[in-house]
């Protein structure tokens, strides 16, 4: 038998069902690998005791014939999901010692399906970043390196720890959250699959809020089918999140088996941006050709407001962030830094508790929402957001799914894009528009760059049509035949 840590989630289900291994053995194997590769800094908190307790309980349930759909599957959880009794930090100093008295709906759903928690993964502070460089607990290292170049690369962000953990085989799957690309971009940088569902598909209850009109939880795994299996358990209506959709969850794994004959794949011409790296353009063309060979029909479509999406995002997301993060005031939970009076206690707590990028975004959001600027910035951004959403609606009158690159570049080295915030923001160029419209998107490996780094292809679907996204992604995955693995992992 192959190493336990090499198994996919689907493989694990089969092996456990056949009695070839146990949940405890799987948890132990993955925990050992987490220890070996601790240098990547993928985890903020490892939870070996909780993992082994959950694994023992899982084996007991299986013995009684009560196995759930993810029974015994070890998972890594982004440290933005509240886990009852286990520290949840959002990678911020302000929540460094926060132990939630409740469990997020998404993680509770996973545990109800039988999954086992390995630990809490690192991220950009409050999920604000595209490199995992803004974590209070230090950066995460991408398991991949450029050929012949030993420099450490970023895993992408914000869900960089989850992506690195799955890419380094420390976990077969992980949870992430995506506000402007925080699942899809790190999946692309780490050579794995990351799925952002439709806004409203997964409950946001118990997930530390960043930008509430955009935040959405989703899975990482090494195959498209595994992300479908995870989403199946994560999704579903939750009365505690008023934006959670009260609609049935379809059979996502079944959708992976369908073919793409006659499927209309939209190729948005505005994504062919000036200065796009030739290898990204070539990757995209290969993706189109592969889907065409599988029977799909490429369709040229237009999303005219694409180039406005990033600037719109950097009004809407900071505005929501400044409101959401107002709760960290040193009174009810989190860090407190004393001051001479109540006002200075608030200011000292927040000044010391938040890192540079979070402080910058709070100031941006406060500015755009402040008297005299609201109409010029926030209202304008919401109007442009309406146009961006309308572009997608019109494009989906002519096609069933969209194919684009996930990111404009492969993973970059730590510090390479740190000089100017706008340069860093450009990383999310191809992922932000679908977020603004609340649409489902997946990133899967499309090949390697000239210097040996994984490149991602993105598929975007209609709202609540993850099935078509998964169907097209499965066909593309088969055609690509990636099988890439970071050297040494």
How far is C-alpha 289 from the chain's CA centre? 27
Residue of 14, 383, 393, 394 interacting with other proteins (CB under 8 A): 383
- Which residue among 92, 162, 182, 449 is the active-site one? 182
DSSP character at residue 326 = G
Select from 36-44, 378-386, 440-448, 471-479 the region that touches other proteins (CB under 8 A): 378-386
Residue of 463, 470, 472, 479 interacting with other proteins (CB under 8 A): 463
Residues 209-233 as b or e (16 or more Cβ within 10 Å = b): bbbebbbbbbbbbbbbbbbbbbbbb
Select from 24-32, 110-118, 289-297, 382-390 the region that touches other proteins (CB under 8 A): 382-390
Residue of 138, 295, 351, 415 interacting with other proteins (CB under 8 A): 351
Least Cα distance to 44 among 120, 105, 156, 157 occurs for 120
Half-sphere exposure of 317 (CA within 13 A, CB side): 28
Reading the block at residue 277, the tokens are: 């790296």
d(CA 111, CA 171): 15
Residue of 348, 413, 452, 484 interacting with other proteins (CB under 8 A): 348
Select from 9-17, 302-310, 442-450, 474-482 the region that touches other proteins (CB under 8 A): 302-310
d(CA 222, CA 419): 33
Residue 213 beta carbon to other proteins: minimum distance, rounded to whole angstroms: 6
Cβ-proximal residues to 195 (8 Å cutoff; 6+ apart), any chain: 183, 218, 219, 220, 227, 228, 231, 440, 441, 442, 466, 469, 470
Residue of 352, 418, 450, 487 interacting with other proteins (CB under 8 A): 352
d(CA 14, CA 139): 36
Residue 366 beta carbon to other proteins: minimum distance, rounded to whole angstroms: 4
Residue of 341, 397, 483, 488 interacting with other proteins (CB under 8 A): 341
Residues in 414-453 at the binding interface with other proteins, rule: CB under 8 A: 420-422, 436-438
Query: CB-wise, 36 or 344, nearer to other proteins?
Result: 344
Residue 304 beta carbon to other proteins: minimum distance, rounded to whole angstroms: 10
Residue of 312, 404, 409, 468 interacting with other proteins (CB under 8 A): 312
Query: CB-wise, 35 or 338, nearer to other proteins?
Result: 338
Kindly state whether residue 342 participates in binding other proteins, applying the rule CB under 8 A.
yes
Residue of 339, 408, 452, 484 interacting with other proteins (CB under 8 A): 339
Other CB atoms closer than 10 Å to residue 248's CB: what's the count?
Answer: 8
Residue 182 beta carbon to other proteins: minimum distance, rounded to whole angstroms: 17
Least Cα distance to 159 among 138, 136, 131, 119 occurs for 131
| Residue count, binding to other proteins (CB under 8 A) | 72
Least Cα distance to 455 among 415, 406, 421, 488 occurs for 406
Residues in 165-224 at the binding interface with other proteins, rule: CB under 8 A: 198-200, 213
- Which residue among 107, 131, 135, 158 is the active-site one? 158
Residue of 65, 148, 246, 275 interacting with other proteins (CB under 8 A): 246
Cβ-proximal residues to 450 (8 Å cutoff; 6+ apart), any chain: 279
Query: CB-wise, 422 or 450, nearer to other proteins?
Result: 422
d(CA 129, CA 124): 5
How far is C-alpha 404 from the chain's CA centre? 17
Query: CB-wise, 146 or 380, nearer to other proteins?
Result: 380
User: Can 158 be counted among the known catalytic residues?
Assistant: yes
DSSP character at residue 379 = I
What are the respective helix, strand and coil percentages of the chain, to the nearest 5?
Answer: 40, 15, 45
Query: CB-wise, 102 or 289, nearer to other proteins?
Result: 102
Please identify which residue in the block is written with the tokens 């209070």: 136
Between the CA of residue 207 and those of 274, 286, 302, 332, what are the distances in Å? 37, 37, 34, 17
Least Cα distance to 389 among 432, 436, 442, 459 occurs for 436
Residues in 78-137 at the binding interface with other proteins, rule: CB under 8 A: 98-99, 101-102
DSSP character at residue 413 = B
Kindly state whether residue 330 participates in binding other proteins, applying the rule CB under 8 A.
yes
Residue 338 beta carbon to other proteins: minimum distance, rounded to whole angstroms: 7
Select from 18-26, 119-127, 178-186, 356-364 the region that touches other proteins (CB under 8 A): 356-364
Kindly state whether residue 302 participates in binding other proteins, applying the rule CB under 8 A.
no
Reading the block at residue 159, the tokens are: 């869900």
Residues in 7-46 at the binding interface with other proteins, rule: CB under 8 A: none
Residue 51 beta carbon to other proteins: minimum distance, rounded to whole angstroms: 24
Report the chain's terminal Cα–Cα distance, integer Å: 18
User: Can 307 be counted among the known catalytic residues?
Assistant: no
Query: CB-wise, 284 or 314, nearer to other proteins?
Result: 314
User: Can 182 be counted among the known catalytic residues?
Assistant: yes
Select from 30-38, 43-51, 285-293, 300-308 the region that touches other proteins (CB under 8 A): 300-308
Give the catalytic positions in this structure: 78, 158, 182
């Amino acid at each position: 038998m192959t190493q336990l840590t090499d198994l996919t989630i689907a493989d694990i289900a089969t092996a456990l069902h056949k009695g070839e291994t146990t949940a405890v053995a799987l948890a132990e194997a993955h925990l050992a690998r987490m220890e070996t590769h601790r240098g990547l800094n993928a985890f903020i908190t490892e939870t070996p005791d909780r993992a082994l307790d959950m694994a023992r309980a899982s084996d007991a349930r299986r013995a009684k014939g009560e196995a759930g759909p993810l029974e015994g599957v070890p998972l890594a959880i982004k440290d933005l999901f509240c886990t009852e009794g286990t520290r949840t930090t959002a990678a911020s100093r302000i929540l460094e010692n926060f132990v939630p008295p409740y469990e997020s709906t998404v993680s509770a759903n996973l545990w109800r399906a039988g999954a086992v928690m390995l630990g809490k993964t690192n991220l950009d502070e409050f999920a604000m970043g595209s490199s995992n460089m803004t974590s209070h607990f230090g950066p995460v290292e991408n398991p991949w390196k450029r050929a012949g170049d030993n420099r450490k690369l970023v895993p992408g962000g914000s869900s960089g720890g989850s992506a690195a953990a799955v890419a380094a085989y420390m976990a077969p799957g992980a949870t992430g959250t995506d506000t402007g690309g925080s699942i899809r971009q790190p999946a692309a940088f780490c050579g794995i699959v990351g799925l952002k569902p439709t806004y409203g598909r997964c409950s946001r209850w118990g997930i530390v809020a960043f930008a509430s009109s955009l935040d959405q939880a989703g899975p990482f795994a090494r195959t498209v089918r595994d992300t479908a299996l995870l989403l199946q358990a994560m999704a579903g209506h939750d009365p505690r999140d008023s934006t959670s959709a009260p609609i049935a969850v379809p059979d996502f794994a079944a959708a992976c088996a369908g073919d793409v004959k006659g499927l209309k794949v939209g190729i948005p011409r505005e994504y062919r941006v000036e200065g796009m790296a030739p290898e990204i353009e070539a990757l995209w063309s290969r993706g189109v050709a592969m889907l065409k060979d599988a029977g799909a029909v490429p369709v040229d479509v237009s999303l005219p407001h694409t180039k406005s999406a990033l600037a719109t995002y950097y009004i809407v997301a900071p505005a929501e962030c400044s409101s959401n993060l107002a709760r960290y005031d040193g009174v009810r939970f989190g860090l407190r830094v004393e001051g001479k009076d109540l006002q200075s206690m608030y200011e000292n707590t927040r000044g010391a508790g938040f890192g540079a990028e979070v402080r910058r975004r709070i100031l941006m959001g406060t500015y755009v929402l402040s008297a005299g600027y609201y109409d010029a910035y926030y209202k304008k951004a919401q109007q442009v957001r309406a146009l961006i959403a309308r572009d997608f609606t019109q494009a989906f009158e002519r096609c069933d799914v969209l194919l684009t690159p996930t990111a404009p570049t492969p993973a970059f080295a730590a510090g390479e894009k740190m000089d100017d915030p706008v340069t860093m923001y450009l990383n999310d160029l191809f992922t932000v528009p679908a977020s603004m419209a609340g649409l489902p998107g997946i990133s899967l490996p499309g090949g390697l760059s000239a210097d040996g780094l994984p490149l991602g292809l993105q598929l975007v679907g209609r709202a609540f049509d993850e099935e078509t996204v998964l169907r097209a992604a499965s066909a593309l995955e088969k055609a690509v035949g990636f099988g890439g693995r970071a050297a040494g992992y």
